[in-house]
Amino acid sequence: MQPKSPNTPSPVGPIPSQGPRVVDPRDVDTLAYIHSNKFITTKLFHQKFHPHHSLWTACLHLNRFAERGLVLRARNLPNEDSFYCLTRPALKHLAGLARILLSSEVRSPRINLFEREHDKRVLAMRIQIEEAGGLEGLTWLSDYEMRCGLRMDWKKALIQGRGWDLAGARLHRVHDRTPDGYFEATIEDKTYGFALEYEHTAYNREKMAAMVLNLTRDFPRAFRLIVSRDKDHALRMLEGLGTFLKGDPRNKELWGFSFFGKVSRIPFQRVPWVNLEGDYLPFVKDPILKNLPPSAEASGDKPAKETA
């Protein structure tokens, strides 16, 4: 009989602990992906790795990782989605395969109870962009990786199997503010960089100033995508940042705004990303305007663009 909850232990019985030496090669990339985000939840693991199977299949896969000592599980409430992060033996095993870089102080990542809903939503957006974004050659650098000192060129080398070329690379903790993600991808033969910032709770002026400084200093040529919790917060952020940058006209076209409900559910290029002037960013596909009758376009009777 199937257990009532997918979060209950596997019904197939205990699996002998074999240690990370016998990790299935097919699971190496999966474990490296979990580490790149610091953690993953059962539902997000299902969305990323088993989208065409049941949630139970994803649960069994994660339970096997836990029983082999590869991941640690954390859950506060009985019906809450479980959080999984890699154990120290698993981290050392991946480092030995040149699939990840580690600092000299190896320990399992810690999940911040006050930030995990924010971090879970960032991961949900990442998975949606990766799996349904229609972007070519996408490489994602998470905020966790950036804070650990990982660079984009190192991340690409690890993904491409050139990790041994990084033998002299050393991770150093970064104490400056980082965005929630940075990714590069090709759209219609043109390469773009995107720095993503998720506003889960409303930013005050001090936090907004820190965000602007970080994004303009460290990502001067990337699109700065600001995702708010909902549409009302997105409109407030667009207006507030427009006022904040009123005296600085540089690269205003690089700022883009939307909200979580859009970014986490529809393909990346269909998200109505708008800049500070209310215009769509250049990579956005706009079926509304493309299908507009010529007479309406000539008369200027265009439908209002969705602001976020």
Same domain, 171 and 284: yes
Residues 196 and 222: their CA atoms lie apart, in Å, by 10
- Of 82, 60, 62, 58, which Cα lies nearest the Cα of 70? 62
How many domains is the chain partitioned into structurally?
2
Q: Which domain holds residue 306?
A: 117-308
Same domain, 4 and 90: yes
Lookup: tokens for 161 = 């199997």
Same domain, 139 and 156: yes
Same domain, 85 and 160: no
E strands, the chain, where? 40-41, 71-74, 83-86, 136-142, 181-187, 190-199, 223-228, 255-259
Q: What is the dihedral of CA 88, 93, 96, 98, to 10 degrees?
A: -100
b (16+ CB within 10 A) / e for 166-196: eeeeebeeeeebbbbbbbbbebeeeebbbbb
- Of 275, 280, 282, which Cα lies nearest the Cα of 302? 280
Last residue of a domain, one of 111, 133, 164: 111
Residues 109 and 149: their CA atoms lie apart, in Å, by 15
At 307 the pLDDT is 55
Q: What is the pLDDT of residues 59-96, one digit of tens each?
A: 999 999 999 999 999 876 677 789 999 999 999 999 99
Q: Provide the CATH number for the domain around residue 75.
A: 1.10.10
Pairing of strands 223-228, 190-199: parallel
Same domain, 131 and 240: yes
pLDDT (tens, 9 = 90+) of the chain, 308 residues, equals 334 333 333 333 333 344 555 688 889 999 999 999 999 999 999 999 999 999 999 999 999 999 999 999 987 667 778 999 999 999 999 999 999 998 776 566 677 767 889 999 999 999 999 998 789 999 999 999 999 999 999 999 999 999 999 988 888 888 788 999 999 999 999 999 999 999 999 999 899 999 999 999 999 999 999 999 999 999 999 999 999 888 777 788 999 999 999 999 999 999 999 999 889 999 998 645 443 444 444 444 444 456 55
Q: Look-up: residue for tokens 């002037």? A: 277
Query: Amino acid identity of 298?
Result: A
User: Across the strands, what pairs with 192?
Assistant: 185
Model pTM score: 0.84
Same domain, 136 and 274: yes
Q: What is the pLDDT of residues 132-160, one digit of tens each?
A: 878 999 999 999 999 999 999 999 999 99
Residue 13 · residue 67 · CB < 8 Å: no
Same domain, 44 and 122: no
Same domain, 166 and 303: yes
Same domain, 99 and 125: no
Residue 280 · residue 305 · CB < 8 Å: yes
Same domain, 182 and 75: no
Same domain, 48 and 122: no
Residues 18 and 59: their CA atoms lie apart, in Å, by 19
Same domain, 214 and 122: yes
Last residue of a domain, one of 54, 86, 111: 111
